[in-house]
Amino acid sequence: MQNRHISNNIRLILDILDYSELVQDDSLILFLDFYKAFDSLEHNFIIAALNKFGFGQFFCNAVQTLYVNSNSSIKLASGTSPRFFLKRGVRQGCPLSVYLFLLSVQLLNLHIKLSPLKGLVVAEREIFISQLADDTALFLRDASQVAVAINIIQSFSKASGLTLNLNKCEILPVKNCLLTSIQGIPVKTSVTYLGIQITKDMQSRCSTNFSPIIDKTKKTLNQWLQRDLSLKGRVLLTKAEGISRLTYAAQSLQVNNTVCNTINRILYNFLWRNKTHYIRKSVILNTSDKGGLNCIDFTALNNTLKVIWIKKYLHNPTSIWNFIPHFVFSKVGGLNFLLCCNYSIPKIPLKLSNFHQQVLLAWALIYKHNFSPQSCIIWNNCNIVYKRKTLFLNNWFNNGIIFLNQLFKEPGLLYNYSDFTKQYKVPITPKEFAVVFDAVPSGLCMLFRGFYSAHPLTLHPPDVLKSPLGNFCFTSAKQLNSKIRALFQDNLVSVPSATFYWANFTSNIDWKKVWSLPQKYFLTNKVKEISFKLLHRFYPAKHYLTKFKADINTSCTFCQKQPETCSHLFWSCEFTYRFWKYIHKFITDSIFADIQLYYKNILFGFHSFDVKDRDAFFCVNMVLFMAKFHIHKRKFSNKKPDFFVFKLELQRYLNLISASKNTKAQKTISICKSFGLLT
């Protein structure tokens, strides 16, 4: 449903537990379980629900046509049973079924709210029910309401066909409860709700939920280690089999550093097949046009999810899903205002849950406070403290006293009590005045000595929703998740060290073009990976492998004379050099006559050419990629490079992609046909 997310229901229950001091009574949360909910909903009740919500007769008749006189039979070993009419259940797989079921169970919501049931009172608001499909949680004021709730549900069951499965219902007390069961329903200290283990202990909640997911992820990834996958293939698996499993829980829970580091370690160990990490993590986190592999850092992803929670919260802070944090943050001016302040989490005068602390920490990592005398805020300012806590006085805030320069009568000179009350006409006590003015540190006063500007008596607080975040708008930017994650990862990435190494041998390398060149072609990742390894200087030539095992034969696989370095293997070996001569002749004869081939072209490709020769050099760079892959294959098959075999491989590749509808493939085929490379 629009503007709804499964994490809303989870966070509501966790907020009640985390801020249990806001709950007035010994309240309970009753988790309901219905027998085969989708299969037991009466058809007559579905039509009644449609009529109740004002759907027209035409629509109701259309739905009735789908369900009236529908019949089925049971497949048996000896054949099928006699056909029988279906009078209950929504059709599985039908796109309409979901909405019909939601409309029907919405009547349960209305039935509960109109009943004499006493709900849970938290943050000065009474709540009764939380629903997501057939997962229902009732919020009860005390143990006496359990019997009332069961009777209400049973009356609803008679009308709808939905029947309680009391054996699977559970009760979770918000506070301590000595009872082991109420009305035959067990009282638990931990329940599973929407796939999340709900416990009252905030410290153990993270490990309880993530440990099983991490173990399953590690086991799944280890099974993939038996396959000969490319680096990019393994990166894709870390996202599909790793990140995707973990994101769901991270949206609703605080994830501590230990768990984040464990997850990152598992993902990056898998990337390097649990062996030596040949490139620093800060490099492979880069995008492909900066020499990276587009890897995801789970810490950055977790922080991104917390910032996305802020966006959802600010769009509707008083909804049933957000009213508890709204009540908590209202004590410091509201979350919108707090996020604009120069806060320090330990100094905020609130007892915040671990989740909301992590939300504030994530925001502080990417929201930049540019200090200036005009914009320095008094409240929630970590530099303006009283008894080691930041200040917030609601009376002052509501009367527009927000910024520090409003406390100064003239440069560097603070108001006295009588002048301040006369200037702002705000009823404040001398104690409040003394607390605020004594909390302003002398260092800030010195900064204001050289600054003075006339200011209005009332000012409006800044609005996060209208503030830029990095170089984009926080509320309206497209692909917001990836842009926010990029802000976090920008602090983690580094320039590949290989760029400094190659700068010693050749100058004026446009690295963005070099890193991006393989992405222009419809090539397998195995082909692209050879260039990636050569540029990053970890191609497994024998001389390089002596770093890890000293007693190996370093003689060249082809000539058996010289040490096998990358430059020797891919360029100066007599057999490789002869192969490149054939390649050069092939290029000059078929593609572009006026061209010289050097080792730097083999490594980096051709990037400087006239626009009219663009297609020709597109083909040349493609041939170079295929040629490097040919040398690589011949090395590991203990054969020498063979130009005639290479031509057959190139022809086979072009024939293979000619049937593809991929844009890159079609472009390649079109250009190659123009040069007569495809026969």
| Two tokens, residue 306 | 């917390």
CA 351 to the chain's CA centroid: 27
User: Domains of the chain: which residue ranges?
Assistant: 6-199, 203-296, 328-468, 499-675
Model confidence at 458, in pLDDT bands (50, 70, 90)? very low
Q: What is the reported pLDDT for 454?
A: 56
Q: What is the reported pLDDT for 467?
A: 72
- Report the alpha-carbon distance of residue 636 to residue 437 in Å, rounded: 76
Q: What is the reported pLDDT for 461?
A: 67
Q: What is the reported pLDDT for 442?
A: 83
Ramachandran category for residue 425: left, alpha or beta (phi over 0 → left; psi -120 to 50 → alpha):
left
The 10s digit of each residue's pLDDT in 490-538 is: 889 999 999 999 999 988 899 999 999 999 999 999 999 999 999 999 9
CA 99 to the chain's CA centroid: 28
- Report the alpha-carbon distance of residue 407 to residue 410 in Å, rounded: 9
Mean pLDDT of 440-462: 68
The 10s digit of each residue's pLDDT in 311-342 is: 999 888 999 999 999 999 999 999 999 998 99
Q: Of all residues in the chain, what percent are helix, strand and coil, respectively (each to 5)?
A: 50, 10, 40
Cβ-in-10-Å burial (0-12, 13-18, 19+) of 528 comes to buried
Q: Does the pLDDT at position 479 exceed 80?
A: no
Ramachandran category for residue 201: left, alpha or beta (phi over 0 → left; psi -120 to 50 → alpha):
beta
Task: State which amino acid sits at residue 576.
Answer: T
Q: What is the reported pLDDT for 46?
A: 86
Mean pLDDT of 462-472: 72
Query: Residues 390-422, buried b or exposed e (16+ Cβ, 10 A)?
Result: bbbbeebbebbbbbbbbbbeeeeebbeeeebee
Q: What is the reported pLDDT for 635?
A: 95
Mean pLDDT of 32-60: 86
- Report the alpha-carbon distance of residue 178 to residue 189 in Å, rounded: 11
Share of the chain above pLDDT 70, in %: 96
Closest CA to 154 of 142, 141, 143, 169: 169
Q: What is the largest CA-CA distance in the chain?
A: 98
Query: DSSP character for 517?
Result: G
| Two tokens, residue 285 | 């986190």
Closest CA to 592 of 613, 621, 622: 613
Please say whether the beta carbons of 391 and 385 come within 8 A: yes
| Two tokens, residue 510 | 């446009």
Report the alpha-carbon angle 482-537-562, nearest 5.
160
Q: What is the reported pLDDT for 457?
A: 46
Strand partners, 192: 197
| Two tokens, residue 280 | 């620093």
The 10s digit of each residue's pLDDT in 178-226 is: 888 898 899 999 999 999 999 998 889 999 999 999 999 999 999 999 9
Whole-Å CA distances, 601 to 580, 620, 624: 12, 10, 9
The 10s digit of each residue's pLDDT in 528-537 is: 999 999 999 9
Q: What is the reported pLDDT for 563?
A: 93
Average of per-residue pLDDT values in the chain = 89
Q: What is the reported pLDDT for 453?
A: 57
The 10s digit of each residue's pLDDT in 66-102 is: 888 778 888 888 888 888 877 888 887 788 888 888 8
Q: Does the pLDDT at position 451 exceed 70?
A: no
Q: Does the pLDDT at position 456 exceed 60?
A: no
Q: Does the pLDDT at position 608 exceed 60?
A: yes
pTM: 0.89
The 10s digit of each residue's pLDDT in 344-379 is: 999 999 999 999 999 999 999 988 877 777 778 999
CB atoms under 10 Å from CB of 248, counted, come to 17
